Amino acid sequence: MHGFYFSIILVILILVGFILRYMITYRVLVKKLKESEENYRELTEKYEVDVSNLENRVKQEAAKNEQKDHLLIQHSRLAAMGELIDSIGHQWRQPLNGLSLIIQDVREALQFGEINDQYIDTFTKEGMIQIKHMSRTIDDFRKFYQPNKEKCTFSLSDSIEAALSIYSSNLKKHDIHVEFEYREQHMVFGFPNEYSQVVLNILTNARDAFVVNGIKNRRLDINIHTDGSFLVVLFTDNAGGIEPDSLSKVFEPYFTTKSNGTGIGLYMTKIIIEKMNGSVKVENTDGGARFILSVPKVASENIPSLITV
Ligand SMILES: Nc1ncnc2c1ncn2[C@@H]1O[C@H](COP(=O)(O)OP(=O)(O)OP(=O)(O)O)[C@@H](O)[C@H]1O
Ligand SMILES: [Mg+2]
């Protein structure tokens, strides 16, 4: 009998022992769990703070980059200014000569008694034609130097024409024959004046290459075609091309092979085209370099009716 009670007490004691052990383990586990939760919360908070710091830094860096690009674009615009003022001089030469001939004729006309109403009318009309020509040149340049603040729908061909017209005297001076054919208005969405500036960069680079390599028959072909939802413009010159090692670097900031170059021109080109959600590429052809600019075209249903007519 004693043995039986003893066994029961032993079993109870073992059970109590188990329960106590279980309770202690449970408490330890709960404590550990709480500690883990605490750690987890601390880590999460720290992580959130880190992420938000990181986000802030990314934003700050992006803003800094934007500012840097803006300054570079301004800088490059100013760098091109000297060259363009030279072009204004060239483009004014002809109307100025015209005006001076008309004015010099007055005294002679007086001597020969030719001054009458009709003479005055012709004098005024011809004078005004020359003055209007000069004024249009200045307007073109002024427009060119006003950066577009907001994107707008514009004609790619007009923007290319604007750059060609501003640079025409320089092209003539260096005997560069530009072939630019377009059959229709190609509408895109972006910054027209900046696009003209991009074209001007490509023209000045081609001019430099023609001069450095002493090319005889200087040609620059400009072609526009559609590729899916993009308008692609090819600028192909026969100025000798780009060193294979340099091909991948020409769009990097400050990459230049010229003693007086800044290396900003093509970097700026890339920034402007990318701001228009487009892309730039370069390749060598048989006799020269080809720059390929793609920008998304504006679907015809999105073009304001004023522009489509
Ligand atoms: N049409 C081209 N033919 C041959 N090389 C070219 C042509 N266009 C660009 N390059 C090369 O690419 C380099 C970078 O051009 P980018 O316009 O960025 O700078 P840059 O012309 O050297 O200087 P900047 O335009 O600032 O005066 C040039 O130095 C030249 O070596
Ligand atoms: Mg350049």
How do residues 41-80 score in pLDDT, each as one tens digit?
999 898 888 888 999 999 999 888 888 877 877 777 777 7
Question: Which pLDDT does position 168 carry in this prediction?
Answer: 87
Tokens 């290396």 locate to: 263
Q: Of 192, 203, 190, give the one whose Cα is nearest residue 146.
A: 192
Query: What whole-number distance in Å separates Cα of residue 265 and Cα of residue 258?
Result: 12
Residues with CB under 5 A from ligand 2 (ion): 205, 265
| Number of domains making up the chain | 1
Query: For the domain that residue 272 is a member of, what is the CATH number?
Result: 3.30.565.10
Question: Which pLDDT does position 228 carry in this prediction?
Answer: 92
- Please indicate whether residue 201, judged by its CB atom, sits closer than 6 Å to ligand 1: yes
Residue 12 maps to a domain: no
Would you put residue 61 in left (φ > 0), alpha (ψ -120 to 50) or beta? alpha
Least confident of 74-88, 141-155, 183-197, 210-224: 74-88
| CA torsion through residues 56, 59, 63, 64, sign | positive
Closest ligand 1 atom to the C-alpha of 255? 14
- pLDDT at position 114 over 80: yes
SS (H, E, C) 152-183: EEEEHHHHHHHHHHHHHHHHHHCCEEEEECCC
Residue 270 maps to a domain: yes
Q: How many CB atoms lie within 10 A of CB 280?
A: 20
| CA torsion through residues 240, 244, 250, 256, sign | negative
Residue 7 maps to a domain: no
Closest ligand 1 atom to the C-alpha of 291? 1
Q: Of 278, 286, 91, give the one whose Cα is nearest residue 198.
A: 278
Q: Note if the pTM is more than 0.75.
A: no
Structural domain that includes position 195: 151-309
Residue 301 maps to a domain: yes
Residue 14 maps to a domain: no
Residue 34 maps to a domain: no
> Which residue's CA is the nearest one to ligand 1's atom 22?
256
Question: CB–CB of 234/221 below 8 Å?
Answer: yes
Residue 49 maps to a domain: no
Q: Of 164, 138, 300, give the one whose Cα is nearest residue 233.
A: 164
Q: How far out from the chain centre does Cα 305 lie? A: 27
- Please indicate whether residue 284, judged by its CB atom, sits closer than 6 Å to ligand 1: no
Closest ligand 1 atom to the C-alpha of 288? 3
- Please indicate whether residue 266, judged by its CB atom, sits closer than 6 Å to ligand 1: yes
| Nearest ligand (C-alpha, residue 266) | 1
Residue 234 maps to a domain: yes
**Segment 129-143 mean pLDDT:** 83
What's the 232 CA to ligand 1 centre distance in angstroms? 21
What is the per-residue pLDDT across 255-309, written as a single tens digit (0 to 9) for each? Answer: 999 998 888 889 989 999 999 999 999 999 999 999 999 999 986 555 554 443 3
Question: Which pLDDT does position 307 carry in this prediction?
Answer: 42
- pLDDT at position 128 over 60: yes
What is the per-residue pLDDT across 155-195, written as a single tens digit (0 to 9) for each? Answer: 999 999 989 988 888 899 999 999 998 777 889 999 998 89
